[in-house]
Amino acid sequence: QKEVEQNSGPLSVPEGAIASLNCTYSDRGSQSFFWYRQYSGKSPELIMFIYSNGDKEDGRFTAQLNKASQYVSLLIRDSQPSDSATYLCAVKASGTASKLTFGTGTRLQVTL
């Protein structure tokens, strides 16, 4: 079983819609959860991170964490063509100071 799982996609949503990206993880003791965006041919960049159960909002982005279900999601409201990218979920495991384990990413396509 992969430690961090994501649907590879592509997830296709029309411009202006809400894109919902999902991630599950296997280590129940995981402490911190991150969403990175990676444009084709570029390096990953952090969108947001979340530590506590519930929602965390930053502009058009909302991260949702449910530790009981070992599930973290990213919602993108009012999706724009510029949001088309691969979204990487990363998890910091218990007992580690800084090590991140990444999922394989979900490719998002926002269509006009």
Residue type for position 88:
L
Query: For another protein, which is the closer residue by CB, 18 or 46?
Result: 46
Among 45, 55, 57, 78, the residue binding another protein under the rule CB under 8 A is 45
Identify the bridge partners of residue 57 per DSSP, sorted by sequence position: 62
For residues 107 and 10, is the Cβ–Cβ distance under 8 A? yes
Residues 84 to 103: which contact another protein by CB under 8 A? 88, 90, 97-103
Q: From the CB of 49, what's the least distance to another protein, in Å?
A: 6
Q: From the CB of 97, what's the least distance to another protein, in Å?
A: 7
Say how far apart CA 112 and CA 91 lie, in whole Å: 32
Say how far apart CA 6 and CA 90 lie, in whole Å: 10
Q: Using the rule CB under 8 A, is 77 a contact of another protein?
A: no
Q: Using the rule CB under 8 A, is 61 a contact of another protein?
A: no
Query: For another protein, which is the closer residue by CB, 11 or 17?
Result: 11
Q: SS3 for 8?
A: coil
